[in-house]
């Protein structure tokens, strides 16, 4: 799935059941830069700024204890829902909920609610899971196989509005031989299926069900009602304490969690869409951590005054930013315009100047960090402004007196939208427009809310993002396959290409890594011939985090980050730093 509005994710990169984390040249940039430990005192003052001031009363000790075990995180995105049946937490790290499997730091699949990794039939069509004993939901009811069946059947049901349904297209049936066993029957072998069993499990009874694992009309209506948001029930290490829409959401440790209880007992997510405001509040001590654009994060580097007691962490990602080019627009729908922009844009300058070196250039939705990345696509054609200009000349796009090209009376001009408040996308959009101008293409940049962008997404270009660290199918199929053309944020540009469809289907339906690698290699080279977007860069996600906690690590990250996916992906395992 591609770009989501600020919410539970989309997104955001292959392997069969338990893939290892792909590596990339020169070890890449997953380094953590640690600020001076001498700033610990200043950090504690900042942490206390998130709690009520002390008045010397008898509650001081309790308040101090709460502050010492609480974390306040500044993030740009607010979830639209906390209901996994509607898309929340589909890639794991949902905190209130858990899946059958989860991922470790290297993105290797490991058991969660399942006792062990699934038993897979020799033909790859049957996956059998055995549930862990003694797991209860936060309302005290036991987890059963019927709850798992209900969760998957609900997501697959057309009455439920889940944008990720296509990722479970391979599922033919879900059976429950007994309360502890779940069997998935697939229509065709689907290599990344096990990675889709990180989906959070919900209790059927919370939707008025009868624990039969089915989804009747009343349950479907309950899913759509939104009532689950106010009182979500899961098996995870945290519970929802409060949610003030447009302001913040607070989680508290689940006292009846089946695993080890977290040392961080309260997690508050402060929703701050504006990057500069997030940085200001972090510097003022109102936040313990935040996701920031690289250039703002650099002001918290070691040696900077506001970097005391904090560390800047860069996480490598499969998260790209690119310009979505609608096919129905008379300019962006012209394949030669798309080719010329794809070849003439200076991506390396964007990495250096906009990302401050934290990221790298990209050509398609498959990240350079993926084992399926095809470097030959970079050199398949001549690149640079001279080659791009020659292509436009040959295609009949002639320069006018104003420096803008035209063909058959149509000026080479279009509007590029970006979400206002996102300074990184704004800077990328301006850099893109400047490069396009050098080619004789006029790009007008405009910042709008997502609600305003929604109404124009099928006719105007948009600086969008996406990417999955789990498997390329999760991002390329909905972004490119013609069956998703016009499907919300999945393929808003209405891209259609028969060869691309064929290669995506081949990669989706094969469990042979070599076959999948060949299909994805051919896909990337086909996208050089007929680009769908102008993918620009893959980001390093950059965070600033208080250094009063240990075991703060990163994973290769997807597009969905900064909410519960970030250095806090394992916040339940954080421990207080040694004093």
**Mean pLDDT in runs of 10 for the chain (579 residues)?**
39 30 30 28 32 41 66 93 92 92 95 98 96 97 97 94 85 97 96 94 93 89 89 96 96 95 96 95 95 92 88 94 97 97 97 94 93 92 96 97 97 97 94 98 97 94 94 93 91 96 95 94 96 95 93 91 85 88
Q: Is 167 left (phi over 0), alpha (psi -120 to 50) or beta?
A: alpha
Are 301 and 312 in contact by the 8 Å Cβ rule? The answer is yes
Please state, in angstroms and rounded to a whole number, the distance separating the CA atoms of residues 462 and 415: 8
The pLDDT value given to residue 576: 92
- For residue 430, give the H/E element and its range: helix 423-438
| Interior/surface letters 116-140, b for 16+ CB within 10 angstroms, e for the rest | ebbebeeebbbbebbbbeebebbee
Q: What gap in Å lies between CA 177 and CA 194, rounded to an integer?
A: 20
Which residues are 418's β-sheet partners? 447
pLDDT of the residue at 556: 93
432 vs 258, 443, 527, CA distance in Å? 50, 8, 19
Residue 21 has what DSSP assignment? P
Tens of pLDDT, residue by residue over 119-143, are 999 999 999 999 999 999 999 999 9
pLDDT tens digits, 472-525: 999 999 999 999 998 888 999 999 999 999 999 999 999 899 999 999 999 999
Token digits for 561? 């980050």
Question: Which CA distances in Å does 130 have to 148, 181, 283?
Answer: 11, 5, 48
pLDDT digits (tens, 9 = 90+) for 401-451: 999 999 999 999 999 999 998 999 999 999 999 999 999 999 999 999 999
The vertex-500 CA angle with 496 and 504, nearest 5°, equals 120
- Residues 493 and 324 sit within 8 Å (Cβ to Cβ): yes
pLDDT digits (tens, 9 = 90+) for 528-541: 999 999 999 999 99
Q: Collapsing DSSP states into helix, strand and coil, what is residue 27?
A: helix
Structural domains in the chain plus CATH codes = 80-233 (3.90.76.10), 329-539 (3.10.105.10)
Strand intervals (E) in 325-395: 359-361
Q: Give the per-residue pLDDT at 316.
A: 94
CB atoms under 10 Å from CB of 356, counted, come to 17
Find, among 71, 182, 139, 4, the residue nearest to 567 by Cα.
Answer: 71
Decide if 160 contacts 223 (C-beta within 8 A): yes
Q: How far apart are the first and last CA of the chain?
A: 44
Spatial neighbors of 106 by CB under 8 A, at least 6 apart, are: 20, 21, 555
**Rounded CA separation 368/361 (Å):** 8
Supply the pLDDT for residue 63: 53
Which residue do the tokens 């396009």 mark? 436
Residue 31's pLDDT is 31
Q: Are 424 and 275 contacting, i.e. CB atoms less than 8 angstroms apart?
A: yes
pLDDT tens, 217-227?
A: 999 999 988 88
How far apart (Å, rounded) are the C-alpha atoms in residues 500 and 494? 13
């Amino acid at each position: 799935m591609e770009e989501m509005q600020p919410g539970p994710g989309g997104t955001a990169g292959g392997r069969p059941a338990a893939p290892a984390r792909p590596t990339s040249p020169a070890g890449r940039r997953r380094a953590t830069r640690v600020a001076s430990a001498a700033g610990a005192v200043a950090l504690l003052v900042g942490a206390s700024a998130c709690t009520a001031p002390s008045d010397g009363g008898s509650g001081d000790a309790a308040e101090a204890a709460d502050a010492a075990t609480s974390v306040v995180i500044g993030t740009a995105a607010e979830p639209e829902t906390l209901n996994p049946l509607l898309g929340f937490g589909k890639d794991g790290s949902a905190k209130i909920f858990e899946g059958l499997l989860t991922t470790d730091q290297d993105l290797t699949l490991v058991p969660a609610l399942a006792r062990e990794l699934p038993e897979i039939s020799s033909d790859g069509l049957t996956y059998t899971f055995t549930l862990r004993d003694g797991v209860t939901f936060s309302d005290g009811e036991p987890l059963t196989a019927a709850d798992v069946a209900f969760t998957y059947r609900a997501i697959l049901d057309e009455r439920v509005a889940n944008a990720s349904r296509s990722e479970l297209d391979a599922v033919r049936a879900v059976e429950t031989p007994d309360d502890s066993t779940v069997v998935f029957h697939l229509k065709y072998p689907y290599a990344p299926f096990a990675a889709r069993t990180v989906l959070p499990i919900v209790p059927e009874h919370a939707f008025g069900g009868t624990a039969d694992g089915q989804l009747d009309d009343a349950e479907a209506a309950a899913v759509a009602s939104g009532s689950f948001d106010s009182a979500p029930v899961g098996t995870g290490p945290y519970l929802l304490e409060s949610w003030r829409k447009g302001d913040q959401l607070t989680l508290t440790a689940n006292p009846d969690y089946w695993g080890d209880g977290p040392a961080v007992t309260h997690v508050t997510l402060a929703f701050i869409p504006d990057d500069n405001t997030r940085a200001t509040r972090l510097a003022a001590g109102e936040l313990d951590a935040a996701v920031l654009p690289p250039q703002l994060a650099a002001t918290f580097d070691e040696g900077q005054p506001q970097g005391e007691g904090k560390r800047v962490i860069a996480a490598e990602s499969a998260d790209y930013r690119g310009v979505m080019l609608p096919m129905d627009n008379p300019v962006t729908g012209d394949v030669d315009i798309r080719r010329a922009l794809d070849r003439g844009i200076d991506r390396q300058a964007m990495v250096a100047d906009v990302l401050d070196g934290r990221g790298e250039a990209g050509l398609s939705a498959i990240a350079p960090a993926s084992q399926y990345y095809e470097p030959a696509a970079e050199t398949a054609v001549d690149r640079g402004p001279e080659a791009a200009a020659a292509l436009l000349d040959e295609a009949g796009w002639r320069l006018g007196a104003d420096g803008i090209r035209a063909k058959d009376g149509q000026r080479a001009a279009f509007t590029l939208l970006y979400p206002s408040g996102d300074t990184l996308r704004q800077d990328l959009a301006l850099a893109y427009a400047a490069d396009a101008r050098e080619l004789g293409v006029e790009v007008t940049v405009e910042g709008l809310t997502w609600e305003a962008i929604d109404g124009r997404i099928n006719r105007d270009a948009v600086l969008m993002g996406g990417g999955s660290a789990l498997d390329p199918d999760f991002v390329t199929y909905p972004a490119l396959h013609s069956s998703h053309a016009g499907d919300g944020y999945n393929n808003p540009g209405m891209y259609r290409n028969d060869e691309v469809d064929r290669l995506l289907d081949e990669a989706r339906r094969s469990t042979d890594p070599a076959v999948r690698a060949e299909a994805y290699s051919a896909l990337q080279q086909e996208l050089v011939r007929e680009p769908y977007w102008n993918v620009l860069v893959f980001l390093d996600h950059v965070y600033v985090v208080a250094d009063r906690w240990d075991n703060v690590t990163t994973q290769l990250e997807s597009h969905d980050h900064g909410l519960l996916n970030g250095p806090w992906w394992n916040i339940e395992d954080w421990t207080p730093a040694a004093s």
